[in-house]
């Protein structure tokens, strides 16, 4: 549930007024339960969108699949044994098929800035001036199949269970830094 190792690192490169800063963090050695995928493959009637893995589930035309048969409209989870039982995420109800390694490397922030030349800014009585663009939470490198390898901690679902919450948003910033 919790990573065995977490950490981060950053680096800055500079050349002729340009600067590139990048900050990463990582988590290693933990397992997540992909509850969203499990529930999507054990479809309630119209409650979830169907994911593309449904195409690979067992059928008469696809008898060699390792995914069990898909039952639509199984509200009481009588036939869908591949997912957690009737909205319960207790450990004894979950199929081991949906436990996945949650290791990741995340690019948390990257900033490209340009320091304006002194000859240009001295006329405006500035000591320094720079323009920059920053991107935050741009991507993960992970083998996890879910939306995000960082599920929210919830009292309803418990730790280490990805119930499909929205991932951390990507943000983009544009700025101007002035020193008088």
pTM metric for this prediction:
0.76
**Mean pLDDT in order along the chain per 10 residues (180 residues):** 93 97 97 82 60 78 80 58 47 71 97 94 90 97 92 70 85 95
Question: Which structural domain range is residue 80 located in?
Answer: 5-179
Give the rounded distance of the alpha carbon of 119 from its chain centre: 45
Q: pLDDT tens across 126-144, in order?
A: 899 999 999 999 999 999 9
How confident is the model at residue 107, as a pLDDT? 98
> Which residues 6+ apart lie within 8 Å of 41 measured at CB?
51, 53, 54, 57, 67, 70, 80, 82, 83
> Which residues 6+ apart lie within 8 Å of 2 measured at CB?
30, 159, 160
How confident is the model at residue 89, as a pLDDT? 45
How confident is the model at residue 144, as a pLDDT? 94
Give the rounded distance of the alpha carbon of 41 from its chain centre: 20
Total domains, the chain: 1
d(CA 134, CA 157): 34
d(CA 107, CA 168): 12
């Amino acid at each position: 549930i919790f990573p065995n190792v977490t950490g981060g690192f950053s680096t800055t490169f500079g050349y002729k007024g340009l600067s590139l800063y990048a900050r990463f963090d990582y988590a290693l050695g933990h397992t997540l339960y992909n509850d969203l995928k499990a529930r999507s493959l054990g479809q309630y009637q119209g409650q979830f969108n169907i994911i593309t893995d449904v195409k690979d589930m067992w059928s008469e035309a696809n008898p060699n699949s390792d995914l069990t048969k898909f039952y639509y409209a199984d509200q009481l989870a009588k036939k869908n044994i591949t997912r957690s039982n009737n909205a319960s995420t207790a450990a004894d109800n979950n199929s081991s098929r949906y436990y996945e390694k949650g290791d990741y490397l995340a690019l948390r922030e990257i900033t490209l800035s340009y320091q304006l030349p002194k000859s240009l800014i001295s006329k405006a009585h500035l000591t320094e001036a720079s323009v920059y663009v920053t991107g935050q939470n741009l991507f993960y490198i992970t083998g996890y199949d879910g939306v995000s390898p960082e599920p929210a901690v919830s009292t309803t679902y418990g730790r280490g269970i990805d119930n499909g919450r929205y991932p951390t948003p990507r943000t983009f910033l544009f700025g101007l830094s002035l020193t008088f």
